[in-house]
Amino acid sequence: MITYPIPMVPGPVKVPQAVLEAYLTNFGSADLEPDFVELYQKTEANLQAIFGSKNQVVIQTGEGMLALWTALKSCLVPGDRVLAIATGLFGAGIGDMARSIGAVVRTIDFPYNQTVHDWLSIEQAIAEFQPKMITVVHCETPSGTLNPLQKLGELKAAYHIPLLYVDAVSSLGGVPFLADEWHVDLALGGSQKVLSAPAGMSFLTVSEQAWEIVEEVNYPGYEALKPFRHAVRDMYFPYTPYWHGMAALYTATEALIKEGLNNSFQRHTAAASLCCSRLVSLGFSLYPDPSAILSPTITAVHVPQGITWAELDRRMRDSGLVAGGNYGPLANKVFRLGHMGTQADLELVNQACDVLSTILSAL
């Protein structure tokens, strides 16, 4: 297998040794044991601290996308109104997902290189449309941008909207997140981004209001939230526990708590500002509009003139650097350096920028 000494993919990120070791452990019994429940609860407590929430955190086996689906399918029935705020591919995609399960979706679209700013039109839409759920993405990974959430939470509370759904998959742990203060009912995360655990665990906070709706909706599918409400109390989980994934996630959350959340935020901010300032001084142009808020976890950059993405990707790999391409309308036009989790490292950012500097001067 080819490995790259300069990993800068914006998730899955490089998994640190301690997390790999936690994964490679055998457990006394692989079935549901009190030990597993204890591990689940300790992981939940760490995730509550990271999410800034006293609400229950449900931890499920599956990719980050699972959290996006589980929260929609467990809370919506056909005909429910959803206001989807879209400042990028994930925000728009969540609106499409809600539509696919029969919700009546109104989307507020912003250009993909901007962050939420037109609060008046958002407030008007909330007041007029009275959605059951508002959906938004914290860090739009393909765009490298970070949406502010405080004001949206205030509007949600002021208009008594039942549910605020926030995809925090690529920001959580690298950027302050205050789920309770921002009135977030469903805050979603995944293991393989900032937390730097292997892909395969997803988790979400569920507010009391959301639990009431989950009970009413009573969605029965594989990804349903409802069986998790009393899973710990009843020691009854809806499927076989994934010991290895849970142990890796627990170790990853422990490392973040031990580092200190504020230290992690500072480390991400420092990596991002180094990355941006070096790339701009080399002559690269950042994708986000100057008015947008940049995410401390990812830098999105235009593919420079005179080279295709495929060729840039090849030259980066030849020099030991692997970065992220893009999707949809940004495919082949914008590429990304993921300085999140283990990759929020000044040395690594400098190495990546050195490679890009060499490639650019050869053009």
Q: Which residues are at the interface with ligand PLP (CB under 6 A)? A: 11, 63-65, 68, 90, 137, 141, 167, 169-170, 190, 193
DSSP letters spanning 284-315: --BSS-TTSPBPTTEEEEEPPTTS-HHHHHHH
CB atoms within 10 A of CB 339: 30
What's the min distance (Å) between Cβ of 169 and ligand PLP? Answer: 4
255: which residues sit within 8 A by CB, 6+ positions away? 16, 18, 19, 196
139-140/145-146 β-pairing: antiparallel
Give the C-alpha separation, 15 to 345, whole Å: 14
Q: Please identify, using beta-carbon distances, which residue of 170 and 319 lies nearer to ligand PLP.
A: 170
What's the min distance (Å) between Cβ of 160 and ligand PLP? Answer: 27
Q: Please identify, using beta-carbon distances, which residue of 193 and 278 lies nearer to ligand PLP.
A: 193
Q: Please identify, using beta-carbon distances, which residue of 103 and 137 lies nearer to ligand PLP.
A: 137
What's the min distance (Å) between Cβ of 234 and ligand PLP? Answer: 29
Q: Please identify, using beta-carbon distances, which residue of 77 and 293 lies nearer to ligand PLP.
A: 293
What's the min distance (Å) between Cβ of 216 and ligand PLP? Answer: 26
Phi and psi, residue 354, nearest 5°: -60, -45
Question: Residue 208 carries which side chain, given as an amino acid letter?
Answer: E
Q: Please identify, using beta-carbon distances, which residue of 193 and 244 lies nearer to ligand PLP.
A: 193
Q: Please identify, using beta-carbon distances, which residue of 69 and 211 lies nearer to ligand PLP.
A: 69
The tokens for 164 are 């605020």
Bridge partners for 145 per DSSP: 140, 294
Q: Looking at beta carbons, which residue is closest to ligand PLP?
A: 64
Contact of 163 with 133, CB cutoff 8 Å? yes
What's the min distance (Å) between Cβ of 303 and ligand PLP? Answer: 20
Cα distance between the two ends of the chain: 30
What's the min distance (Å) between Cβ of 38 and ligand PLP? Answer: 26
